Amino acid sequence: MQIQTPEWVKHAVFYQIFPDRFAKGEPPTETRKGIDKGWYPSTVESWDEPPTPQGYKGGNLWGVIEKLDYIQSLGVNAIYFTPIFQSTCNHRYHTHDYYRVDPILGGNEALRVLIDAAHDRNIKIVLDGVFNHASRGFYFFNDILENGPHSPWLHWFRVEDWPLSAYDGSLPANYVGWIGNRALPVFNHDNPEVKEYIMQIGEYWLEFGIDGWRLDVPFEVKTPGFWQEFRDRVKAINPEAYIVGEVWSNCVQWLDGTQFDGVMNYLFTGPTIAFTAGERVDIEKVKHCDYIASPALSAMEYGQKMQELLQLYPWEIQLTQLNLLDSHDTARFLTIAQSDKASVELATILLMTFPGAPSIYYGDEVGLPGAFDPDSRRGFPAPAKWDNQVMEYHKQLIVIRHQYPALRTGAYEVLFAEGNVYVFARILGDEEIIVAVNIGTEAVTANVIASKLKSQPNKVIYGSCEISWQGEGDASQLQLSLPSRKGCILS
């Protein structure tokens, strides 16, 4: 079987937005009867105060629309939103209505305007599909709470006994909630009605104009053929729609070309943190994660892990993985690295030059810190609080990624991996790019055998280093001098 993945994803740089915390905006002043522009609450938390688990700060899609020029200025050309459908929690993973954008976010009209405005800028929109579980407020489950065994929707969920206890923790819930959370009743995916309902949601929003789905905990859905059918139905509407799963571990069973186009690539995240931050990693900030970010890795160990990762899945899938350093489910990397800025820059170099689509979690590009949820979900800071140096190197690296096709679809060849120095090439036809990082605290000179290259890249397009080439062909050798805790890119 020939595997096909969306071509645009191979050339995308994603920006992940947690809608309640990115930006507040106002709907257009003109009014149209019958149009739902949302409803802005009068009581929300202060934007700049530390976030609380249940508090709302009032960010909305109108605010995102107002910031599209900013997002575009970064070089970003795709946005992944955490859930936006009606819900009674700030993160919106407790879905009430899969067909209505949360009124606080601006309703369906805000999404309509956002999609059109983003597409005008050639920016794609990917939404979060929470299809493993719903919420206590989801109409079909709420009917069961009201009518008990007489509900017509009884078999949409996994009821075990009566009476159901949706709120009183002193009593057994008597229904299956995700990881035992009674706020998140799990769908009965074996029920054909439930399956069809979810398939139609996937189709509806593709027809509305979104460009793909990020699937929340898809590994929890055990019904045979479920994700294969989801893919078939979605691709029938838009063959270039992106389907990316949240799976933190080895994903071979989902990345066979019949289900997902990629996953959130935490198998890249963990080793990259362990390599670039090393002993600086705050173990308390990573020990509850499902990726492995400690102990510190040498260049050789990191290179081995990257080569193992690149051998796990077909190349077509590798090019549409969603690569990241952090997300709403983790502490921010700056905080994991105990505010060591060099670690973040080194990791960002590796992120922007690795096969697959890089993803920036909102605020990382301006140096926003954050520990575990809810702290990793802070309000996006005002410009006066931005780290402009961090912003600048993000922009530089994104420009370079867009400029050189080899960094997007070229082969990945490790050239040197000893001690603290890691050097690799991205090769596409005659275009050859060399990327080098020194994670050590001392300057170093490395002699890199470059017999795998046809050319001798000698233009420094990022970072600072000294280079000289000797020999030709199989005897070609690069002498590369790197400052401490720095990286460079050669073309």
Residues assigned a catalytic role: 216, 246
Q: How far apart (Å, rounded) are the C-alpha atoms in residues 241 and 243?
A: 7
Q: How far apart (Å, rounded) are the C-alpha atoms in residues 213 and 129?
A: 6
Tokens (6 digits) for 232: 């078939």
Q: What is the dihedral of CA 91, 95, 98, 103, to 10 degrees?
A: -60
Q: How far apart (Å, rounded) are the C-alpha atoms in residues 348 and 273?
A: 10
175 neighbors 185 (Cβ within 8 angstroms): yes
Distance of CA 106 to the CA centre of its chain: 23
Q: For helices 299-312 and 266-276, what crossing angle results, to 10°? A: 170
**Residue 99, C-beta contacts closer than 8 angstroms, at least 6 positions apart:** 85, 201, 204
- 439-to-323, 344, 491 alpha-carbon distances in Å: 20, 11, 21
- 49-to-92, 374, 379, 450, 477 alpha-carbon distances in Å: 20, 12, 8, 52, 54
